[in-house]
Each structure stands twice: as C-alpha cells, then as structure tokens.
Amino acid sequence: MCALAADMSGGGRDPMVIVARYDGWFARPVEIPADRFDMEMMGQQAAGEIIAIRRDGALVIIDLGGGYGSSTYEHLIDNDVKVFGYKGSEGTGERAKESGLKFQNQRSASIWIFREALDPSQPGGSPIALPPDDPFLVADLCAPTYKITNGTIRVEAKEDVVARLGRSTDRGDATQAAWYQGMRHATHALDLIDMQQRHRKRGQAPKVIMSKQPRTGRSM
C-alpha cells in the first residue's frame, strides 16, 4: 500500500470515504456512514478507522477542507502516522506535465494530475487501475469542468459540482487525493523495490524449492 486518502464526514449525511492505493491499483472505496461517529470523538474514531485499513506504513492523506479532518490529523500525528494535510484551496507550485501551466490551487492540481495519469495515449498507456462497476466513482471523476485563464488551470469549485450532481463527490475526491501524494513507481521506483525486498525477507513472497530429482525437473 502506497497511500491511503480519507475524505472526511462533516457530521451531516455525507459518509467518510477511505481509498487505498497500491501504486496505480486502487482498492474499492470504503464508506463509513456519518451516523457511526460521535461528533465529540470524531477525530479519535476516524483515526481508528484509518489505522485499521492502513498497511505497509502508507502515507495517509487527510482532507482538511472545512476543518472536519483537523482532529483526525492530530490523532494520527500523535500516533506517529505519516500524514499529509490536503487543503484544496491552498496554492501550489506544481505545474501541468505537458503544458507547464500553473494551477489555481491544490484541488485543481490533484484533479488535473489524475487526469494526466488516466490518459491512455501516454507512453505505455495509463498506469491507473480503478475498481470496476462503480458508476458513482466514474461520475465523480468526470463531473468537474475547468477553464484556463492567464496561464492558470482553474477547476470548477466543488460547491458548483455538488450543486449540479445533487450529492457530494466523496469517492472521486478521495481517489484523486490518493494519487496526488505518496509513493508511485514513476517517482519512487527504488523505494518500492526496497519494500518488496523487505517483504521477501519476512517470508511474504512465494518461494519455490527445487527437488533433488533433476531427471523429473519437478518442484516441491
């Protein structure tokens, strides 16, 4: 597991959504109903849900928009969990891969960077493998529009997307955030190889023991 992103519940109807990423392969989103949380213990309970899913020391990305994820972020930090606080409205120095255009904010960057990763025409094709048969995830990813003004990519505000769809885009938001940060083969190949080697040393990789009967060539 390379990254795990959580789109936080604000205590209303919207659930907490957690998405785990294994390089370019994404697990199915995990939805936790909002009514499962006690608002006075929201941070502690949400952190527990995340830690129960997290594997391999994966980076955790917490959506801090609206302030709902702040207490969860703090609980994870207190438990020595690697965390990235995702603030969609904050600025970023990143640029689009092909055009070199700037981004209005982190949200525009994360959505555009995932759009680039999904492009099937890139060398080797897209590295992304999304869960099949999830129409809500597809709708979430396809819904935001964008415009380019003064050399800056500006993705449609989430409030406007939600108003058009009639619901929050939690699944898409968590999926895009999971790609935005954390290890990827294109940028962390040596780290991933090192992780695989550690798994082998712990006996987590399949082993083949050759037979002492060379005539048959069989393996045990």
- Residue 110 and residue 180 in contact, taking contact as beta carbons nearer than 8 Å: yes
| Domain around 143 | 3-201
Mind listing the pLDDT tens digit of every residue in the chain (220 residues)? 999 999 987 666 789 999 999 999 999 999 999 888 888 888 899 999 999 999 999 999 999 987 788 999 999 999 999 999 999 999 999 999 889 999 999 999 999 999 999 999 998 899 999 999 899 999 999 999 999 999 999 999 999 999 999 998 999 999 999 999 998 876 555 555 566 665 566 665 544 343 344 444 443 3
> Does residue 206 sit within a domain?
no
> Does residue 212 sit within a domain?
no
pTM of the model: 0.82
Backbone torsions φ then ψ of 73, nearest 5 degrees: -55, -45
> Does residue 10 sit within a domain?
yes
> Does residue 207 sit within a domain?
no
Number of domains in the chain: 1
Q: What is the CATH number of the domain that holds 112?
A: 3.30.420.240
- Residue 97 and residue 68 in contact, taking contact as beta carbons nearer than 8 Å: no
List strands edge to edge, sheet with 102-103.
102-103, 152-155, 146-149
> Does residue 210 sit within a domain?
no
> Does residue 170 sit within a domain?
yes
> Does residue 125 sit within a domain?
yes
> Does residue 218 sit within a domain?
no
